[in-house]
Structure 1
Amino acid sequence: QVQEIAGYEPEEVIGTTFKRYIYKRHLPILIKTFITLKRGREVRNLQYDIVRKDGSRRTVEINVFPEIKDGKITGIYGTIRDISRERELERKISRLSQLEESIIETANVWVDVLDEQGNVVLWNRAAELMSGYTKEEVIGHNRIWEWLYPDEHYRRGIVEKALTIIQKGEVMENFETTITCKDGSTKIISWNSRNLVDGDGTSIGSIAFGRDITEHKRAEEEIRKFKTVADSANYGVAMSDLDGTLLYVNDYFARIHGYTRDELIGRNLSMFHNEEQLPKVYALNHVLVEEGSYTAEEVWHAHRDGHVFPMLMSGTTIKDERGTPLYMATTAIDLTKWKRMEEKLSQQEKMAALGTIAAVVAHELNTPLANIAITAQLLLSQLGTQYEDDLHTIKREVEYASSIIKKVLGFSRMGEMEMTEVDVAEIVSRAIESVRNMHPMDGVIIQNEMVSSVEIMGDRYRLFEAFTNLISNAVLARDPQKKMHHVVIDSSVSDNALEITITDNGVGMGDAVVAEAKKPFFTTRPKGEGTGLGLFIADWIIERHGGSLSIKSAVGRGTTVTVHLPTGVN
């Protein structure tokens, strides 16, 4: 082994002095060793460096003993063992231990180690900062758990969990507890813990790592509150990244566009707009990113089925701590109902003004029209059959002009209602008879399937006018390509509502015509055959009675007008 350790053959060593092989800085150790040996004492586990034949150094461990004969030291014998590798490993282990201790101390997570009785044996800097208790206060005992968890019942559960980890080797991940700090404040800590074992596999304690998640939990709570409010809000809420990719939409926003929330997440907000609308949307998004917000902008949207509608929108950006925009958030309210109300109010204001004019005009026209009618009747009796056709034409035109004046005159009294108990079935029957007297009925069948009697609070004259207009429209919608024209009036009654349907198999209307049908002066009849006021007046009368009027129609198949009225006399 001499050659392996020192690089010399044994023959090269024999007869030389020992100090020749000792690293010069360690010669004092050699001198002390010889002094000890000369005093008759052995030297064990002495470590020093030797210089090999090639000039390199090795660390060795020696055990030497004095050889004594007749009470005198006659020589020295012993063993030399190369421990260079062991020393290098020890140095590495020492460095690793120092590194480990440094990591534990500087880690931003709470680290503590418990022995098998639950006493604290390690308590790092992060544990001190989070809890407020120093390592000098907690190491060597287990009273810290009483301080951190002052509630006995709560503490018992925590301690049982800790002992289970130590004794049964259970691994704990993301276990959350609420601690009471030294200053009395509370924090929520998320724990990951496992037991520690010795070389034989026997449990000797546990190690735990804790993260302070108090702020995270508070943020989660704030997000939960926001989401609860936003999810159930009766207005639209949407959030996207700066590229417009949707990250959140509430039910209202999804439903108003014809989608579910799951269908929208991850899609781009441009899907809510057609090509005509997108330029304004892009301009608003630019304002949002550059200026941080915009308020009360009317923006038109496109529904899944293609129809468009207005929304009142406000937007803001969500920024990071440096003020850099990260997300865009918007709120939106559907303006369709308000737009319709605004349009209807505008129409009614115009009609009211027209009604005032109509009252004056009607008064001025009714007298000459009456004189023309009387004169035509007188001429018929005096001239016989010579001008009969012409005189009858004059009378019909006078009657038509009078009917127009009568309808227009109704605008001057649009605010007037005389509410009494009325039977709607009886009013509809009278309206049917009136229509039969107004129009030629060849090939026209009117079927009255109304329930026998339904009483409501209403204006008898106004309801009669409304149903007369609706049934008259149904009769006049006859399709000349069909041999028979059917008009069916049906009804149903619920606890608090009466539904009346007037259905015909006539020419029908397209969607564009249906959209305009209830507007004043809109008509599809040839010039001179309609005023375009009948459906408008009927809709107004039904609304004034707390009801609604809707139209469904298809070209070539016919039309159904549905009237809803509240029942009862209260």
Structure 2
Amino acid sequence: MLLLLWLAWKLRRSRQNILQSKRRLEDTVAKLHQARDEQREQMYFLHELLNVLPNPVFFKDREGKFIGCNQAFVNLTGVEQEELQGKTARDVLDGQLTEIAAATDRKVFDSLGQQYYESEVILPDGRKRYYGIMKDCFRRRDGSVGGVIGCFFDLTEIKETERKLERLFLVVEQANEAIVITDLEGSIVYCNPAFTRVTGYSQAEALGQNPRILKSGRQDEAFYQELWATITAGETWHGTFKNKRKDESLFDEQAVIFPVKNKAGAIINYAAVKRNVTKEKQLEDQLRLSQRMEAVGQLAAGVAHELNTPIGFVASNTESVKNYVAQFKQLIPLYREFVDKVVQTQPGLLPDELKRLREAEEDAHLDFILEDLDDLFAETEEGFERISQIVVKLREFSRVDHGDESGHYNINKAIETTLVVSRNEYKYVAEAETDLAADLPDIVCNSGEINQVLLNIIVNAAQAIKEQQRQDKGFIRIATDFDDQWVRCRISDDGPGMSEEVKEKIFHPFFTTKAVGTGTGLGLYISYDIIVNKHGGKLQVESSPGQGTTFIIYLPREKKSSEG
């Protein structure tokens, strides 16, 4: 009986244990089902997440066979996900990319690290796109390497933008115009090689500087204020600068300066495109100077022509009057002899009339008049001679408008002509003195251009003396001599002289010591060009402060055959 009871209790306990185990098993199975469902949900989520990614993503095992991919990779290759599994890159990608893919797979496994490369990919529709591809290895739960995971990044637009920027950069770097970009405070943040060529400042020297390093002082503050007012208002400024290079030589720049705006319309930088127009300005100024010289020549010719006719008939009339007076003078002795005989032979005849006649003769100072007439006619003839010489000199100087004519010419003659023409410039401030070699040989030259050089130097000397505002007159001395090779002309003055710094720049274009607006700075530059480049000569200057200035012109006695 006890045995039966014990067996019954044992069976009950076993049943209870079985029921508990069943419940635990059911719970475990339920949890496993739940975990499986959650895992499936998670896998589905990850699958959907990969599919919504715009970047193509793929997985490969260690043998290089595809395990899976997302929809973007399907679109890239044209191979569906189910078809892709078990295939290699060689099966779905073009040849060049296949080789790169295999090589980078090996690098991933060898280094167990990321690999990145870029390549052009031909899409199923034939379009070409440029991709960056990032690869890395993925690991199993036990830590072993399971394969490769890769992701494509479409770089087509970026590469196109880079190409555009590169083209733009090359254009800017190779442009003949200087291009400068500044920040809002005006500090230079970029300048191209043309800027360096024109200004002499290297890019390293210019960066961080303000463009005011180029200021020459030839423009006033109002000029720059107007510039800044224009560009800060968001508008474009156009104008021309007279700027200064690093070596302090001057040059002309035509500039367009404008604000650079972002997409929101805010100004973020200022940019300038500048063209060196120095040579153009020189040509324009030379043309204007040539036109002025031509006008002077034409005026001189016109004045000479207008003077010639009245001088001719006045001189002719004066000669006639001189002849009439000579005839009249022959009558005076006869008249006096007649009066004396009347008085001697008939003393009582017309005494009152004879008395009045003698008194009238004394009151008229007839003897003085007769003596003075000769002097007056001599002075008049001298005056006519001087006027005639002036007319001749004006005619000679008017040859300046025949710019391309060369021939045999005597420099002494050029000096005499130019002194007459320029006399109004120096007559109140200086005495002109000459020491001209009597046997000076002729040379082959352009007489008009030589006259122009002499005029430039003489006028400069007169203006320099005038600027001293001295009480006494200065002097301008001109001397000529020659040797076997050269005909020389020295033009000296006792003006203020010049420093070494000024002497070094005296023949530079646009350099002037005169006040703004009173000189072009081209007279001596053009003179140098005429003597040195056009005539194969030399033009030298000797000067020191307070000691006056001497210009020495050397002209070859025989013109070189290479010169035109």
> Is residue 2:313 matched to residue 1:357?
no
Greater percentage in helix: 2
Q: Give the deviation of 1:228 after TM superposition.
A: 1.7
For the Cα contact (< 8 Å) 1:235–1:333, is it kept in 2?
yes
For the Cα contact (< 8 Å) 1:239–1:328, is it kept in 2?
yes
What does residue 439 of structure 2 align with? none
For the Cα contact (< 8 Å) 2:543–2:550, is it kept in 1?
yes
1:429-477 deviations in Å (ceiling 9; x for gaps): x7599879x98689x9xxxxxxxxxx9xx74545655676689899999
> Is residue 2:397 matched to residue 1:410?
yes
Candidates 278, 301, 320, aligned match of 2:224: 278
1:96-119 deviations in Å (ceiling 9; x for gaps): 877766664444443322211212
Label 1:19 to 1:463 Cα distance change in 2 as closer, same or farther (>3 A): farther
For the Cα contact (< 8 Å) 2:178–2:191, is it kept in 1?
yes
Label 1:361 to 1:469 Cα distance change in 2 as closer, same or farther (>3 A): closer
For residues 302 and 413 of structure 2, what CA distance do their matches in structure 1 show? 32
What does residue 303 of structure 1 align with? 244
What does residue 237 of structure 1 align with? 179
What does residue 511 of structure 2 align with? 515
For the Cα contact (< 8 Å) 1:469–1:535, is it kept in 2?
no
Q: Please show how residues 540-559 of structure 1 align to structure 2 within 5 Å.
A: 541=530, 545=534, 556=545
Q: Please show how residues 196-207 of structure 1 align to structure 2 within 5 Å.
A: 196-198=138-140, 202-207=144-149
What does residue 63 of structure 2 align with? 117
Label 1:330 to 1:31 Cα distance change in 2 as closer, same or farther (>3 A): same
For the Cα contact (< 8 Å) 1:256–1:303, is it kept in 2?
no
Greater RCO (CA < 8 Å, at least 6 residues apart): 2
Q: Give the deviation of 1:540 after TM superposition.
A: 8.0
For the Cα contact (< 8 Å) 1:128–1:134, is it kept in 2?
yes
> Is residue 2:81 matched to residue 1:135?
yes
What does residue 148 of structure 1 align with? 93
> Is residue 2:163 matched to residue 1:211?
no
TM-score, length of structure 2 as denominator length = 0.56
Aligned residues: 443
Partner amino acid for 1:414?
Answer: D
Q: Give the deviation of 1:318 after TM superposition.
A: 5.1
TM-score, length of structure 1 as denominator length = 0.56
Partner amino acid for 1:298?
Answer: G
For the Cα contact (< 8 Å) 1:114–1:205, is it kept in 2?
yes
Q: Please show how residues 173-188 of structure 1 align to structure 2 within 5 Å.
A: 173-188=115-130
Q: Please show how residues 420-435 of structure 1 align to structure 2 within 5 Å.
A: 431=411
Partner amino acid for 2:244?
Answer: H
For residues 243 and 261 of structure 1, what CA distance do their matches in structure 2 show? 18
What does residue 10 of structure 1 align with? none
What does residue 482 of structure 1 align with? none
Q: Give the deviation of 1:32 after TM superposition.
A: 9.2
For the Cα contact (< 8 Å) 2:184–2:270, is it kept in 1?
yes
What does residue 286 of structure 2 align with? 344
Partner amino acid for 1:508?
Answer: M
1:94-145 deviations in Å (ceiling 9; x for gaps): 9987776666444444332221121222323443455565534534312x54
For the Cα contact (< 8 Å) 1:474–1:487, is it kept in 2?
no
Partner amino acid for 1:175?
Answer: Y
Partner amino acid for 1:406?
Answer: K
Partner amino acid for 1:123?
Answer: C
Candidates 105, 111, 114, aligned match of 1:169: 111
For residues 14 and 209 of structure 2, what CA distance do their matches in structure 1 show? 86
For the Cα contact (< 8 Å) 1:196–1:203, is it kept in 2?
yes
Q: Note the residue ranges of structure 2 that are not aligned, 5 or more in a row.
A: 1-11, 319-370, 420-431, 437-442, 466-476, 482-487
Label 1:345 to 1:466 Cα distance change in 2 as closer, same or farther (>3 A): closer
Label 1:432 to 1:309 Cα distance change in 2 as closer, same or farther (>3 A): same
What does residue 193 of structure 1 align with? 135
SS in 1 for 2:124: coil
Q: Please show how residues 377-396 of structure 1 align to structure 2 within 5 Å.
A: none
Label 1:468 to 1:284 Cα distance change in 2 as closer, same or farther (>3 A): closer
What does residue 568 of structure 1 align with? 562
Label 1:433 to 1:349 Cα distance change in 2 as closer, same or farther (>3 A): closer
Q: Note the residue ranges of structure 1 that are not aligned, 5 or more in a row.
A: 1-15, 22-28, 35-42, 50-58, 62-86, 376-382, 445-454, 479-484, 490-499, 524-531
What does residue 56 of structure 1 align with? none
For the Cα contact (< 8 Å) 1:190–1:213, is it kept in 2?
yes
Candidates 162, 177, 189, aligned match of 1:220: 162
For residues 433 and 102 of structure 1, what CA distance do their matches in structure 2 show? 104
Partner amino acid for 1:165?
Answer: K
Partner amino acid for 2:66?
Answer: V
SS in 1 for 2:152: strand
What does residue 256 of structure 2 align with? 313
Q: Identity of paired residues, percent?
A: 19
Candidates 174, 188, 191, aligned match of 1:249: 191
What does residue 47 of structure 1 align with? 28
1:250-277 deviations in Å (ceiling 9; x for gaps): 2223443442223334555566567443
Partner amino acid for 1:135?
Answer: Q
Label 1:229 to 1:432 Cα distance change in 2 as closer, same or farther (>3 A): farther
Label 1:468 to 1:337 Cα distance change in 2 as closer, same or farther (>3 A): closer
For residues 113 and 490 of structure 2, what CA distance do their matches in structure 1 show? 74
For residues 234 and 566 of structure 1, what CA distance do their matches in structure 2 show? 37
What does residue 33 of structure 1 align with? 22
SS in 1 for 2:163: helix
Partner amino acid for 1:279?
Answer: Q
Q: CA RMSD in A?
A: 6.3
Greater percentage in strand: 1
For residues 406 and 113 of structure 1, what CA distance do their matches in structure 2 show? 102
Q: Give the deviation of 1:185 after TM superposition.
A: 0.8
For the Cα contact (< 8 Å) 1:435–1:468, is it kept in 2?
yes
What does residue 262 of structure 1 align with? 204
For residues 204 and 234 of structure 1, what CA distance do their matches in structure 2 show? 59
What does residue 12 of structure 1 align with? none
For residues 44 and 461 of structure 2, what CA distance do their matches in structure 1 show? 100
Partner amino acid for 1:278?
Answer: Y
Q: Please show how residues 58-137 of structure 1 align to structure 2 within 5 Å.
A: 104-128=50-74, 134-137=80-83
Label 1:360 to 1:466 Cα distance change in 2 as closer, same or farther (>3 A): closer
Partner amino acid for 1:121?
Answer: I
For the Cα contact (< 8 Å) 2:135–2:150, is it kept in 1?
yes
For residues 270 and 464 of structure 1, what CA distance do their matches in structure 2 show? 41
Label 1:470 to 1:264 Cα distance change in 2 as closer, same or farther (>3 A): closer
For residues 548 and 334 of structure 1, what CA distance do their matches in structure 2 show? 30
For residues 552 and 204 of structure 2, what CA distance do their matches in structure 1 show? 36
Partner amino acid for 1:515?
Answer: F
For residues 120 and 257 of structure 1, what CA distance do their matches in structure 2 show? 62
For residues 125 and 172 of structure 1, what CA distance do their matches in structure 2 show? 23
For the Cα contact (< 8 Å) 1:277–1:300, is it kept in 2?
no
Partner amino acid for 2:273?
Answer: T
For residues 262 and 254 of structure 1, what CA distance do their matches in structure 2 show? 10
For the Cα contact (< 8 Å) 2:54–2:72, is it kept in 1?
yes
SS in 2 for 1:238: strand
For residues 139 and 78 of structure 2, what CA distance do their matches in structure 1 show? 30
